[in-house]
Amino acid sequence: MSPPVPPELLTDDVSLLMVLIDTNPYFWSSIKQSFPFSKFLSDVLAFLNATLLLNQLNQVVVIATGYNSCGYVFDSAGLVNARAESCLPELEKFLKNDASMSTEDTVNGVGHSLLSGSLSMALCYIQRIFRSGAGHPQPRILCLHGSPDGPGQYVAVMNAIFSAQRSMVPIDSCVIGAQHSAFLQQASHITGGVYLKPQLLEGLLQNLLTVYATDMHSRNFIQLPKPLGVDFRAS
């Protein structure tokens, strides 16, 4: 374990990036011919490694958003020469556990992953960072989501969004499904994050590197994509 970083070394371009990846097997099986999960994961790992390389003080945490559960699968804090590939064993274990759970107790129906749960886990982690002391990296959340919105999660998702807004934590959204996500449109709009639905999934890595690798300080000097509209309807 590496020692904690002195507060005086933390600058405004040091990021705590909470990445929420959609692992819903129902969604990935629906697009496996055009964009398999293995290709998605390869792009995400390359993006995470690039984020860690941009600043040696950057921290990356990955939360898997499953169909039945959510779980932490990677945390670069305290790791020397952290590589995102080290999350693969934990991710594989999570996928097996999530698939083994009974789906009878889920409230969202087939195809909906637990976005509200992963958002809550990310915000809890960030609150622990806030309470650890004055010196901490700038936190932000990135949702890599493809499953359709689950109406049963509407209240929980909105509570998480307003909690992030109060804590001044931006929620970035990259939607890889066929349809836009009203949940994530509202999340990014309310918290000051970036919402993007790539036209071609083959260029996902390029979008991740050019849009979401930028820290909050650098965003003051570049022009990022803006959504054409936001769906504010309740679900």
pLDDT in tens, the chain (235 residues): 444 555 444 556 789 999 999 999 999 999 999 999 999 999 999 999 999 999 888 999 999 999 999 999 999 987 878 899 999 999 999 999 999 886 554 444 447 899 999 999 999 999 999 888 767 789 999 999 999 999 999 999 999 999 999 999 999 999 998 889 999 999 999 999 999 999 899 999 999 999 999 888 888 888 888 777 677 666 6
Look at strands 195-196 and 171-175 and give their pairing: parallel
> Where in the chain are the domains?
7-217
- CA atoms lying within 13 Å on the CB side of residue 184: 28
Backbone dihedral angles phi then psi of residue 74, each to the nearest 5 degrees = -160, 140
CA 182 to chain centre: 16
Please give the backbone phi and psi of residue 207, each rounded to the nearest 5 degrees, phi first: -65, -40
- Which CATH superfamily hosts domain 7-217? von Willebrand factor, type A domain (3.40.50.410)
Q: How is residue 3 written in tokens?
A: 């020692």
User: Both tokens of residue 192?
Assistant: 């000051």
Rounded to whole angstroms, how far apart are CA atoms 123 and 73? 16
Q: Which two tokens stand for residue 68?
A: 């039945």
Q: Which two tokens stand for residue 35?
A: 């964009």
Q: Give the closest residue to 19 by CA, choosing from 160, 210, 213.
A: 213
CA distance 208 to 47: 6
The answer to whether 216 touches 191, Cβ cutoff 8 Å, is no
Q: What is the reported pTM?
A: 0.89
